[in-house]
Structure 1
Amino acid sequence: MTVALYCRVSTDEQAEHGFSIEDQQERLKAFAVSQGWTDYELYVDDGYSGTSLERPAMKRLLYHAQAGHIKAICVYRLDRLSRRQKDVLYLLEDIFEKHSIAFKSVTESFDTSTPFGKAMLGILAVFAQLERETIIERTTSGRRRRVHKGLWYGGRIPFGYEWDKENQRLLVVPDQAHIVRTIYRKYLEGESYNSIAEWAESQTNDRKFDHGVIRDMLMRPIYTGRMNNAGTLVDGQHEAIIEMPTWERVQREMANRAEGRTPAGDYLLSGLIRCGLCGAPGIHIVMHQRRKHTYYYYVCKAHHVRPKNSKTPMCTMDAKNQFKLEASVVEKLMNLALDPRSIEAELKQQQTEVNNSLEVVEDIEAKIKEVDRKLEVWYDNLEDESLDQDRVKRRITSLEDEKKRLLRRFSEIDVPSAQNKESLMDSFKLLRNLWNYATLAEQQAMLRALVKQIVIHPKTFDVSFVWNV
């Protein structure tokens, strides 16, 4: 049996009070060490409200608690468990106490083995619920009213702006705004969060930068002169630093990288190659032959790098000479640039692929929802003592495994984006006119603006493209 360290934060709470998941984890781990607990497991619900027990990590925690895998549960504060008195008492009395599970709070002292300790828990649960309702009434509605009017809702001022207290407005700081624009440009050129952060650190002492700060800056619509009001963008009463089309391009690039596309490297096609046989990414390798000759190739990663003890057969895609493959890619793009009709055919083909992929996505999503529905039923059956509990647990394990397989399939599906014809034509025109005069970095930027993936085929240097305009 193990000790469960449970963390939870909602988006509003982290923004308002700083209850970050990372802080809770560090405090809980330190507390576990102080108690001499070496066997512990983290259960993390990031971005989930405390008003319901319908949280992924909480469900997993309850399942493991009732299965007898947990001897103690520890939280940073009682309201991390739940902000509803009814749910807190249910967990403490019907789950933890029933299964002889100790309960600890890092910041609160109480002994649940005594009547007074149980009463104190009930009082704390009442105040947790009251605090939440008060916070919602006092802050959330006020913030949304300000955002609805296009006014800054408070908190740390975004880098690139300063606060005009007299007029209650955000004002652009020119030198910081230049850094923000350059951050967006560098990201679209293929640089990583870390490399951009290092550059930004060398430009100013006004703010500390790391990969997380850069990622958040790239996601914030406030730089477009707009603000997020409960998922809806509204016009703010401040000047934009980044144009909306640029911001949208950055969001697409972030989605591409999240799907596995890497930032640009030292080679023209770095991060763009995909194997036409197995779908694995392509990598660049250098081979030396008896220290006399050096060869440069693009290869399928599943062919060149095989995990230890893997039973999966290696991909049979042949290695592609770097210079021949790059020349083939450039030649095909130039030919397309000279023939608008061929571009329209490419777009039509890609739209067909979009529709096919979306059908697969919808099918998998429906299956995941059905598995979740069944899991809900079987989780409820854990409380029915008239049922064979071993059978219930076996069924839950089987459904959890099925969901993992579906989620893995879902993550492997690459849905191409339906493209804008005019934007695509503009990018082709830029490539046609500037390619021969551009540096390697500029050529990489043009390719990445135009192409999401370059699919290689066996025994040939012919390629096909997935567009990314």
Structure 2
Amino acid sequence: MSKNGRPLRFAALIRVSTEKQERQGESLKTQDTQLKHAVDQLGGKITKRYAGQEHATSGWERQQLDALLADAKKQRRPFDAVIVADPSRWSRDNTASEAGLQTFRDHGVRFFVLTTEYDLFDPHALLFIALNTTIGAFHARNQMQKSLKNRIERAKRGLPVSGKLPFGRTFDKAKQQWGIDKKKQKMMEDIAKRYLAGEKLEHLAREYRLNHSSLHKNLTKRCGDTWEQTFHSDDLNIHEVVPTPIPRLLPQRTIKAILRQAEANKTYQHGQARHPYLFSGFVICGHCNYRMFGQTNHGNRRYYRHAHTERVNECTEPRAWVNANELEAVVMRHLFDTFGNPAAIQRAIERATPNLKKLQALRERRDRVEELLKKNAIARERRIRACDDGLLPEDEMRQRLRELKDSDGRYHDELIRIDDELGHTPTAEAIRAVSEQAAAAFKKRAQRKAKGRKRTSARVVAARSLDTLDAMTWKDKRALVELVFTGERADGKSLGIYITWVDADNPKRRHKSWQYEIHGQLIHEQGVLPISEEAIAAWDEDLGGAPQQRALVKRRLVQSVDH
């Protein structure tokens, strides 16, 4: 009974710790029944319930408890006392418990555990509540730690225990076996094929009624053979990522092509800028491997320059710049010399075509390494059995297992190196396709200029060859640049134009000369800029150019710097 003789009005705090318990409802129903019987015995009535799923553990959101405390502070609160079925349902956090009990004391709210009232002004009662809270906190943290460690161990056995299954995969719990959703795999194969052909990902997402960002993540990160399960708990200081083998949706070569396309979309396949830069996204600092960006000064001089911002890889020459007109003129001349000359194309193809004997040797070595790994696995099992049978001392077994583990590590590293080298080696068909497309860009323009003209001598055709380069539109040149510089080198670095600085340590020559190195499809050239007249003459002598040609080359290179 309350002080005024009326029946006590109770606020029932009913909580469960998991969503599963809330869905099943058993714990909620049990607590509710217990509290009804207790309130009936006390001659009161339940006027408000605060029930649902929330943790009583420290650090977790406690919406129901916060709502109860907020109501307790109201002048016309809907209850006189709070009742719980067990002290653990009140709190497992001493700080929160003490704050809540202080609120009850300040506003005259009584506290019951079933039919037992605890005087919140009695030190013994407060000690009992605090002890129960501490014990409850220990059990909760201990259970949480066991649960998390158990999930991590299950993940290490290849079982899915963290969130939803990866996209397009299935898991048979009875057989403990992974599978593939064939319908989703077929969808991703179609999307990958069309994305690599040039279709926009947002359009493909709309067609298949998928979220654009989710599709991008699935396509770039979730089609391989590894799924990372993450486990994080700041409260327990547990942070672990477990790689889990899963069946792949797409071949590794296709995934690499998708990643290259995605990178290209970020770096150079954008709308037209105010000041066009022919090699935007393809000029790379040779000191730190970061891409340089275009900038135009107040005098409308265009440059490719290094960023001033701090990067992960510190650069020794972060303030250097390159004259864009000069670099573009020289590199385009290199491209023209390679792809505008049939004999040069044939030589480039012969240089770039993979060495079949070398490739065969790599494949044979790969097969041999895989065979050695299998033998190591058999040897490991034999030593374990011999130790179990008492035929091999445990110390000796451990030593031999360590040796096998070290050997496995070396073999796995070698496999990664071989696969990387094989993966970055283009096929002869791919090389010829690139050469034909690049040559077609020059041939098409040359045919347009020659249309309607009478036949002329080879000397005149040679003199007019650079007219073909000049006649190409900026769009045609850019398409050629993207064709030649899209992809990766054999060492895994991006194709592009790498810039290093000549005599960078000499203050008098700083930023006055630089070396360029062209790494592209079928082309690997280098030189120093600014280019000298002797270099221009030697360049054209190598090509057998006529005097008119050399003069034309010289004039155009000089004009490119002046503009």
TM-score by length of 1: 0.42
Higher Cα Rg, which structure = 2
